[in-house]
């Protein structure tokens, strides 16, 4: 099963994807993790990607798409995957369809998460992540703090704040980029009949776990 997570940063994509991944036993694949792995291993694509990432620029498709294709060609994703952070544009979505067609696969479900912007900013500035790249657990100091301050519940590693989560203006800039580049994907997948939009918000008392539970219930039925 191939699932795509859509939604601006801070809507809870990582949380929902992680819950779905555990229950469906398919890997959660994020472009951030793919970039970091290739950069760490100093692959040809990783070296090229780092030239853009180090300058705070978006990595172009001719680098990103082959990286994602390599992962989808691997045994790791033979039973499916949950894609978080890809595709970001219509062009990438079309490339993804081509990659999956080679394996007689298709996108089965697209989950679009929406959250009020004021809540997003609060969430991101309070977001913390496990420093262990093999764990990738995500916490929120307000909504979902670790049991022990500064320590990951799952693996015991230190939890940290990402540099780009510290500055509110930087967060607003990223949200604007999302609106311009990625939100058209909502209409693209809606026309294909595979889009599911879910609101995650404190004001309606519906957070990531509730959304994930409902999606799993529908998938299994």
Q: Which long-range CB contacts under 8 A does 19-22 form with residues at least 24 apart?
A: 19/208, 19/209, 19/212, 19/213, 19/216, 20/82, 20/212, 20/215, 20/216, 21/82
Q: Is position 88 annotated as part of the catalytic site? A: yes
Instruction: Select which of 40, 117, 154, 162 is catalytic.
Output: 162
DSSP string, 52-73: HHTTTPPPPHHHHHHHHHHHHT
Q: Name the helix (H) or strand (E) containing 195.
A: strand 195-199
Q: Is position 162 annotated as part of the catalytic site? A: yes
Instruction: Select which of 36, 105, 174, 209 is catalytic.
Output: 174
Q: Is position 128 annotated as part of the catalytic site? A: no
Q: Is position 127 annotated as part of the catalytic site? A: yes
Instruction: Select which of 13, 95, 123, 136 is catalytic.
Output: 13
Instruction: Select which of 123, 127, 128, 136 is catalytic.
Output: 127
Q: Is position 174 annotated as part of the catalytic site? A: yes
User: Is the peptide bond prior to 104 cis by the omega test (within 30 degrees of 0)?
Assistant: no
Q: Provide the annotated active-site residues.
A: 13, 88, 127, 162, 174
């Amino acid at each position: 099963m191939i699932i795509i997570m859509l939604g601006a940063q801070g809507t809870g994509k990582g949380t929902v994807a992680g819950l779905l991944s555990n229950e469906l036993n398919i890997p959660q694949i994020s472009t951030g993790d793919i970039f970091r792995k290739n950069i760490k291993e100093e692959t040809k694509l990783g070296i090229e990607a780092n030239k853009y990432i180090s300058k705070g620029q978006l990595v172009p498709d001719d680098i990103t798409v082959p990286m994602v294709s390599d992962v989808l060609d691997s045994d790791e994703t033979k039973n499916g995957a949950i894609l978080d952070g890809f595709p970001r544009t219509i062009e990438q979505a079309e490339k993804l369809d081509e990659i999956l067609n080679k394996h007689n696969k298709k996108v089965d479900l697209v989950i679009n998460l929406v959250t009020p912007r004021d809540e997003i900013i609060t969430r991101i500035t309070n977001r913390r992540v496990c420093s262990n790249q093999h764990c990738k657990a995500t916490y929120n100091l307000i909504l979902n703090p670790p049991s022990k301050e500064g320590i990951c519940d799952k693996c015991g590693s230190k939890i940290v704040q990402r540099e780009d989560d510290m500055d509110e203006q930087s967060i607003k800039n990223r949200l604007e980029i999302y609106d311009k580049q990625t939100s058209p994907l909502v209409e693209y997948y809606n026309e294909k009949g595979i889009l599911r939009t879910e609101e995650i918000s404190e004001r309606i008392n519906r957070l990531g776990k509730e959304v994930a539970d409902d999606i799993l219930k529908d998938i299994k039925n």
